[in-house]
Amino acid sequence: MSKNEISKGILHSLLVITGVLLTLYLLFEIKVLVGYLIIAGIISLIGRPIVIFLNNRLKLKNTTASIFTMFFFLAVIIGIISLFIPLVIEQGKNLSLLDIDSFQGNIKFLYAETSTYLNRFNIDLNNTIFNMDWLSNMDFGFVPEILNSLGKTLGNLTIGILSIMFISFFLLKDAMILERTLYVMIPKKSSKKFGKSFESIKLLLSRYFGGLILQIFILFVIYTIILLIIGTPNAFVIAFLCSLLNLIPFVGPVVGGILMILLTMSSHIGADFSSVILPKAIYVSIGFIFGQLIDNFFSQPYIFSNSVKSHPLEIFLIIITGGLLFGPLGMIAAIPTYTALKVIGKEFFSENRIVKELTKNL
């Protein structure tokens, strides 16, 4: 190999590395836009069956079907937001968010009542990590700061929703726009395999996100029934919020359970602790555990195995890996990313023994 060829090889490698680094830097700088595109892509995958139904059954044009689908999603978003307004108002009254002293007093009241009740069983909270010192030293001044930043957050959220809806509409209207964009980056000799894998990815992910909606709906129904039986105010909103948190594997259900118990307890501040607040908290805990058992042993295995064609243990390991590498967002994105990689692997590396074993059900 001549010096000229070596120099060209080194120069080519440097250019490739520079290009990759610049691309990563650009993606980092426009990470918000990338997030919008990812969410819009998910919405378009969820809305794809609706558009197909409107095209085939009602004979609507693609543009009209896409408009109807986007109006449906917009109505769902407005409905969800309107559901949360009464909960925020009521919890604001219960916890006196604008009165820091009252808010701190309510927290101390719940602590004192819990401590008094546990003393009957010779359990002293003051001798544990949950003692009164951390509560007395806690600065509750963060509450007004949260409220002050709420307006800015709502403004950014509005811009984000409108941007996502705009992008989603065009992805639904022209389902090939993303595929054509990606085709430009793919060598011609691989275009056929890419097209086949892209269609498989769209089909599997569309089933997966549809399965997630079914999973949330099942949990929502279970939680709503439990909260209505117990008599918790705003049962529908609390049930929806806690079922939505279930989208974050492992961590989400824990946060949802704690939130459900706290909202139930805070809705009955002022009532007798041992005869009202504590029993309701226990009943909510039992109901929550029941819902999680249904979800973990029936809903999730059936939905995931049928939608992404993966073994439950395989899914568990992938979610854990995603969480260890990228945190909660990694856990959420683990299954869709893994599914896409499996499909690509099957098309481009079908002779590999490991790939063949992992993709035998696809």
The pLDDT of 124-132, averaged and rounded, is 56
The pLDDT of 120-145, averaged and rounded, is 57
> b/e for 272-301, b at 16 or more Cβ within 10 A?
ebeeebeebbebbeebbeebbeebeeebbe
Using only C-alpha atoms, what is the Rg of the chain? 26
pLDDT tens readout for residues 148-171: 565 566 667 777 777 888 888 887
The pLDDT of 75-87, averaged and rounded, is 73
Q: Residue 9 domain-assigned?
A: no
Q: Residue 353 domain-assigned?
A: yes
Q: Residue 218 domain-assigned?
A: yes
User: What pLDDT shows up at residue 349?
Assistant: 73
The pLDDT of 59-81, averaged and rounded, is 82
Q: Residue 27 domain-assigned?
A: no
Q: Residue 88 domain-assigned?
A: no
Higher-pLDDT residue of 267 and 290 is 290
User: pTM score, two decimals?
Assistant: 0.66
How far, in Å, CA of 269 to CA of 360, rounded?
Answer: 56
Q: Residue 62 domain-assigned?
A: no
**pLDDT of 89 higher than 80:** no
Domain around 275: 187-362
Q: Residue 305 domain-assigned?
A: yes
Record the tokens describing residue 321, joined without a space: 């890996």
**pLDDT of 258 higher than 80:** yes
Q: Residue 18 domain-assigned?
A: no
How many domains does one find in the chain?
1
* Virtual torsion, Cα 271, 275, 278, 280, nearest 10 deg: -90
8 A C-beta contact, residue 268 and residue 94: no
pLDDT tens readout for residues 167-189: 888 877 776 676 666 666 677 77
**Alpha helices (H) along 96-190:** 100-119, 132-137, 142-173, 177-185
pLDDT tens readout for residues 219-238: 999 999 998 888 888 788 88
User: What pLDDT shows up at residue 96?
Assistant: 47
